Amino acid sequence: MKMRLGILGADDTLDLILSVVHAYPEIECLPIVYDAEGEIFERLGPHADEADMWLFSGQVPYAMVKEWGRIKKPMAYVPHTGASLYRTLLHLSHEKKLAADELSYDTIPPGELAHMLEEAGIAAGRLWLKSYEGAISADELADYHEALWREGKTKAAVTCLRTAQLELKRRGVPVYRVLPTRAGVESVIGMLLRTHEMLQFKDTQIAVQMIELETPGMTGGEAADPSEGGVLELIEEKLLRYAKQLHGSLKTAGTGRYVIFTTRGILREWTCDFSAAPRPEELAGFADGRFTCGIGIGRTAGEAEIHAGTALLHAKESGPGSWMVFFDDKRIAGPLGKGEQITFSGASDQLRELSRHTSLSVQTLSKLKSILKKRGSAEINAHELAMHMQILPRSARRILIELEAKGIARVSGEESPHPRGRPRKVYRIEL
C-alpha cells in the first residue's frame, strides 16, 4: 500500500524534495508550495486530511503547523544540517572569498555551527548567529542580518529561510541560501517510511469497545429491568449493525453491557484519531438513554479487553455518556470529544510512590499531573480542578487538602471570582 506524503515548502526546497521522493515508487506525493508564511494555513487547510504523513521544508513551517494543531497525522521537517551549511561555506570561500566570521547566520544550533567549523578546520573569530526554536518571521531574520551588514560587522548573510532570503534581496543585502542536502532529505524520507510501516502494524492491533448502556428506565448503576427486554433487544440490534460497520464482532457481557472486538486502525478513523466519540447512525434514537464506553488497545484480545474495562471505569467517573481509551503503552485519554480532554499515564513509578504516601490513586495523581502540564502552570484551585477532572468541587477540594497535608501542595494565594463570592484558595502543586 502506497504512503500518501503531503509535502509543503518554499519553491526551491520543494523542488529538491520532490526530486528525491520521485525515486521512491512506494510514495505518492501531495506537493504544496507557498511564497510567504502567511499563506501556509490557507494553502494547507483544504488538504489537511488528505495525506498519511506530512513533510515540511524546514523548521519554521513545521513549527507553525504544529502550533496550528489541525494536522493529526505524523509530521517531520528536513533539517538544515552541518553538511548543508558546509556546502554553502565552501562555495562562499572559494567563489566569493568570504571568511566564516564575515558572515551572519540563522537557524543552525550554536553548538552545531561551532562544531562544524572546527571539524572543517575553519578558524573563525566571533560568529554572528540568530538561533531560535519554533517559528520566526522572515522580517525578524532579515532585520537581524541587515543591521549587522549596515553596521559593517558582516559582508553577507547566510539564511536557511527562503522568505528571509527574498526579503534580504529586496533590501539590497548580499544573501546566500542554505539548502538541505539530498542525503538529508533521503534520511527523513527513510524515517517516514519506517514510521508508516510501524503505524500500519499498529492499526492491526486488537481494539475492544466496552459499552455500558443506561436505557430510559435505568439510572446510573442500576441493572436493566427484564420488562425492558424489548428496549434491550432493539439496542442490541443497533449495536450489531454498528459492530458490522467496524468490521468487528459483538458479544454480551451482562445486562446492559456489550463488548465489540475490532482493530485499532478502524477505531482510529471512527474517533478521528481518538479525539472524538463516534456518533453512528445505528445508535441514533436513544437520546433519552446514554451509553458510556471504554476503548482498550492491546497486543492480545485479552489485554485489550482488560484495558477496555479499565477505560470504562474512568469513563464512568467522568459521567454518563463519556468515552475513554486505554492504549497499549499505558496511556489513558479522554473523555473523547470533550473540551477538557486530557491524556495521562496509567503507570508511573514516581506516581506509585506518591500514591503510597497519600489516599489518592495513581490514576488520580496521573490525571492531576496531565492537567497541570496542559495548563502550563503548577497552580490550580478546586473549581478548576473539578472542571478538568469532571468531578464535584468538594471532591476536588478533598484532593487538594490531602496533597497539602502530605506536603505535596501548598496554598499560594486566593482569588475572588465574584465581588461577593467566597475567595478560592489557589494551590501550588509539586508532584
Digit-coded pLDDT (tens) for 402-426: 999 888 889 988 887 666 667 888 9
Partnered with residue 29 across adjacent β-strands are: 5
Quick one: pLDDT band at residue 220, thresholds 50, 70, 90? Answer: very low
For 89-118, write each residue's pLDDT tens digit: 888 888 889 888 899 999 988 778 887 777
- Reply yes or no on whether the pLDDT at 15 is more than 70: yes
- Do the Cβ atoms of 60 and 37 come closer than 8 Å? yes
pLDDT at 308: 92
DSSP letters for 76-103: EE----HHHHHHHHHHHHHHS---GGGE
CATH topology identical between 3-79+183-200 and 82-179: yes
User: Rounded to whole angstroms, how far apart are CA atoms 229 and 242?
Assistant: 20
Single-letter code of the amino acid located at 383: H
pLDDT digits (tens, 9 = 90+) for 161-193: 999 999 999 999 999 999 988 888 999 999 999
Cα separation, 376 vs 390, in Å, equals 19
Report the range out of 116-125, 368-377, 415-424 with the highest average pLDDT.
Answer: 368-377
More confident residue, 253 or 37: 37
Contacts (Cβ under 8 Å, ≥6 apart) of 391: 317, 385
Over residues 313-334, the pLDDT tens digits come to 888 888 888 899 999 888 888 8
Q: Contact 310/346 with Cβ under 8 angstroms?
A: yes
Distances (CA, A) of 234 to 37, 230, 286: 54, 6, 10
- The residues facing 263 across adjacent strands are 206
Break the chain into its structural domains and give their ranges.
3-79+183-200, 82-179, 204-339, 348-429
Cell 504544496: give the residue: 32
Burial class (CB in 10 A: 0-12, 13-18, 19+), 386: middle
What ranges make up the beta strands (E) of 101-239?
103-106, 128-130, 156-159, 175-177, 206-214
Asked if omega into 335 is within 30° of 0 (cis), the reply is: yes
> Does domain 3-79+183-200 correspond to CATH entry 3.40.50.2300?
yes
114 contact partners, CB below 8 Å, separation of at least 6: 127
Does residue 271 or residue 299 have the better pLDDT?
A: 271
- Domain 348-429 grouped into CATH 1.10.10.10: yes
3-state secondary structure of 418: coil
Q: How far apart are CA 417 and CA 225, in angstroms?
A: 45
Write down the pTM of the prediction. Answer: 0.58
State in Å, rounded, how far the first CA of the chain is from the last one: 45
What burial class does residue 428 get, using C-beta atoms within 10 Å of its C-beta: 0-12 exposed, 13-18 middle, 19+ buried? middle
CATH architecture of 204-339: 2-Layer Sandwich (3.30)
- Residue listed under C-alpha cell 494565594: 413
Task: Check residue 227 and give its pLDDT.
Answer: 45
**What contacts 262, CB < 8 A, 6 or more positions away?**
207, 208, 209, 243, 246, 247, 248, 249
Task: Using the predicted structure, report yes or no on whether residue 312 has a pLDDT greater than 70.
Answer: yes
269-292 residue pLDDT tens: 888 888 888 776 655 554 444 688
Encoded amino acid at 420, one letter: R
Note the residue count of the chain. Answer: 431
- The candidate with the shortest Cα–Cα distance to 306, out of 205, 210, 240, is 210
- What is the pLDDT confidence band of residue 83, given thresholds at 50, 70 and 90? confident
User: 231 falls in which pLDDT band (50, 70, 90)?
Assistant: low
Domain 82-179, CATH homologous superfamily name and number: PrpR receptor domain-like (3.40.50.10660)
